[in-house]
Chains A and B, each alone.
Chain A
C-alpha cells in the first residue's frame, strides 16, 4: 500500500506519509521541502514543487442523527501550495475521486482561518 505522500527535502532526504487516519503530516521534519508527491486514492499522483509552503488536512463528518450516525465519513483531502501571495488548493473528493482546483489569496476565509501549525516550509 502506498504511503499518503512522499517528500523530498533540500538535503536530499525523504519522508513518507502515513494514511488517511494517521497522516503523519505533523511529523514532517522541519526542513525545506523541494517536492511533495501526493498519492491519490485512485492510484494517480499529484506532484507539487517550487512552493514556499505546503499544507495538508483531511475533512470528515460525524453524523449525530440519520442512517450513518456514529460513522466518521471521510469527505475531502485538502492540499495547498503557497507561492508568494497566492495559494493553489487541491480539494479531493474522497467519495467521487474528483479534484477541484482553486486559486486563493491570504484574504480568503479558508486561508485566514487555517491552523498555522499545519504549514510546512518549502523553498
Chain B
C-alpha cells in the first residue's frame, strides 16, 4: 500500500520522542484541526475552552517591531474534537522556535523513494508564493523558517531555512526511508523589523513524499 504520513504535535515535553512517550503527542486531525501562530493574550492561549473567533485572533496578533525581527511567540493546535486532556480546544506546541528537537512529528508507516520534504505555498495548488509571510514571491525572504530535527537539536538561536516554493524546502531526514520512521522538524515565523505590510494570512504547509 501507499506509504501514509501522520502529523503529530508535542504538547507535554519537547525533549521526548514520540516512540518513547506517545502520550506526549496529539495526532492532528488534518481535516478538522489547524495550527494558529499568534502572540497570544489572556484569551488566545493554551487550553482554551472554545474555538477562538476571528476577532479574538486579530486582537492577539503579533506587534511588528521597529527595532528588531520578531518571532511569533506561540503556535497553538486548534483541536476540533477538544478531547485531549479535558475539553480543551487549544494546545500549545511545545518548543516551537526554541532549541527543541521534538515539537512537530511526521510519522511515516513505510518506505519512500525519495527524502520527504516540508514545503510552504500560498495554497493547495502548490504553484505560487505571493503572500507576505512567504516572502512575496522572493523565497529567501520567507518568514516561515524550518529546521530538520530528526537527527538532533537544532541549536540555540537556530536560524532555519526560509521555506517557500519548490526550491526552498527542508528535507525531513538525511536519506530515504527504508521502513517506518518518525521524522521531526521545528518551524517558526519571524517577522522582519519594521515590515511595512501588516496582515493576517493563511498559507499552506505541506509535506511532499513518495512511495514505490
- Partner-B contacts on A (CB < 8 A): 20-23, 25-26, 55-73, 75, 78, 110, 113-115, 117-118
Contacts and interface: CB of A to CB of B under 8 A. Distances in A.
B30 A64 contact: yes
A114 B209 contact: no
Given A22-B1, A57-B210, A117-B178, A64 B28 contact: yes
B59 interface: no
B210 A69 contact: no
Contacts of B178: 115, 117
Residue from B32, B175, B207 whose CB has the most chain A CB atoms within 10 Å: B207
Interface stretch (B47-55, B64-72, B109-117, B135-143): B109-117
Contacts of A71: 31, 124
B150 to A, nearest CB: 16
A21 B110 CA distance: 13
Contact of B114 (A20, A23, A57): A57
Interface residues of B, number: 36
Interface in B75-121: 111-115, 119, 121
Interface in B15-37: 28-32, 34-35
A68 B124 contact: yes
Nearest to A110: B114
Interface of B: 1-2, 5, 7, 28-32, 34-35, 111-115, 119, 121, 123-124, 126, 175-178, 202-212
A60 B205 contact: no
Contacts of A68: 124, 204
A92 to B, nearest CB: 13
Contacts of A72: 2
Contact of B176 (A23, A55, A115): A115
B35 A65 contact: yes
Contact of B2 (A21, A61, A70): A21
A77 B208 CA distance: 13
Given A21-B2, A64-B206, A117-B111, A70 B212 contact: no
B126 A61 contact: yes
B212 A75 contact: no
Contact of A63 (B115, B177, B205): B205
Contacts of A25: 212
B124 A73 contact: yes
Nearest to B30: A70
B1 A63 contact: no
Q: Which 7 A-B pairs have the closest CB atoms?
A: A70-B30, A66-B204, A57-B113, A68-B124, A70-B31, A115-B176, A64-B205
B208 A75 contact: yes
A73 B210 CA distance: 11
Residue from A57, A66, A72 whose CB has the most chain B CB atoms within 10 Å: A66
21 contacts: A20-B2, A23-B212, A26-B212, A56-B212, A57-B113, A62-B5, A62-B7, A63-B206, A64-B28, A64-B30, A64-B206, A65-B203, A67-B124, A70-B30, A71-B31, A71-B124, A75-B208, A113-B175, A114-B176, A115-B114, A117-B212
A14 B2 CA distance: 23
